[in-house]
């Protein structure tokens, strides 16, 4: 057994692990279906990746006076891709709040992931919290901010999560145990003491990656890619501004 005290998580990754593995496959299929409805040629994010080092500016630059707020070179932002946003669409308050809470949410998701075997949390909860952090970045900075925050293809994250979960499912067979069997290991770190590790945690990491990848894939498919297609249609004249459409009626 996994020696866990969180009944819900032990059921998901230890007792009914096969059901969870099947659910992960369904999530992967759903994400692929969503992407196939939106992306016409490839699901790989085609947005240019912004340099994280170049996007960062020093704190005292945020508060200096800007002579021309419409000049992208003069804009100062709290986000990586904030310079690409039109000034009329920016919310400085929202940018500051998201900048402050994003890393805290990511750390909280890791905490839920690593402690979920004995306390409330787990891979599903941790992945959702990390996904909510991405939603906040996308709603604040748009598709460019999403691409700069996670410059990795969502399909690779989904595949890595499912591969890790499947590996942990069949690995016990090579040691003469049943599939998805868990083992409890006391890792001796010398002066730092002993750290207990349960092998089902690695299965939970796979769950975390699949849930996180699903949120990222949906944001890029139903958010960033739809935004890009609308911008291309607008530039080509296929979509008229709302005011012009109202005048035509």
Q: What is the pLDDT of residues 154-170, one digit of tens each?
A: 889 999 999 999 999 89
pTM score, whole prediction: 0.75
Count CA atoms closer than 13 A to 88's CA, side-chain side: 0
For residue 230, is pLDDT > 60?
yes
Nearest alpha-carbon partner for 210 in 141, 107, 115, 123? 123
The token pair that represents 170 in the structure block: 């069949």
User: Would you tell me how many other CB atoms lie within 10 Å of the CB of residue 96?
Assistant: 14
Phi-psi region of 4 (alpha: psi -120 to 50; beta: other; left: phi over 0): beta
- Please write the tens of the pLDDT for every residue from 181-202: 888 888 787 787 887 788 888 9
- Is the pLDDT assigned to residue 75 strictly greater than 70? no
**Cβ-contact 199, 183 below 8 angstroms:** yes
Q: What's the confidence (pLDDT) of residue 55? A: 47
Contact 164, 201 (CB under 8 A): no
Give residue-wise pLDDT tens across range 6-40. Answer: 788 778 887 778 888 888 999 888 888 887 777 65
Question: CA-to-CA distance for 168 and 146, rounded, in angstroms?
Answer: 31
Q: Is the dihedral of CA 19, 214, 110, 163 positive or negative?
A: positive
């Amino acid at each position: 057994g996994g020696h866990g005290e969180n009944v819900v998580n032990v059921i998901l990754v230890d007792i009914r692990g096969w059901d969870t593995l099947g659910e992960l496959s369904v999530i992967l299929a759903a994400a692929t279906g969503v992407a196939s409805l939106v992306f016409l040629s490839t699901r790989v994010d085609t947005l240019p990746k912004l340099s994280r080092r170049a996007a960062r500016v020093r704190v005292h630059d945020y508060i200096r006076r800007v002579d021309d707020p419409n000049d992208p070179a003069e804009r100062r932002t709290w986000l990586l891709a904030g310079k690409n946003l039109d000034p009329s669409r920016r919310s400085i308050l929202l940018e500051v709040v998201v900048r402050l809470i994003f890393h805290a949410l990511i750390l909280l998701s890791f905490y839920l992931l690593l402690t979920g075997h004995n306390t409330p949390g787990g891979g599903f909860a941790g992945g959702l919290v990390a996904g909510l952090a991405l939603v906040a970045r996308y709603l604040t900075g748009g598709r460019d901010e999403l691409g700069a925050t996670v410059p990795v293809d969502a399909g690779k994250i989904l595949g890595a999560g499912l591969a890790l979960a499947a590996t942990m499912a069949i690995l016990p067979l090579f040691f003469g145990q049943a599939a998805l069997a868990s083992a409890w290991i006391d890792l001796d770190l010398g002066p730092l003491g002993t750290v207990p590790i349960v092998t089902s945690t690695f299965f939970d990491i796979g769950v975390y990656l699949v849930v996180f990848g699903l949120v990222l894939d949906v944001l890029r498919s139903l958010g960033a890619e739809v935004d890009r297609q609308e911008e291309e249609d607008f530039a080509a004249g296929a979509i008229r501004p709302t005011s012009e459409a109202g005048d035509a009626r």
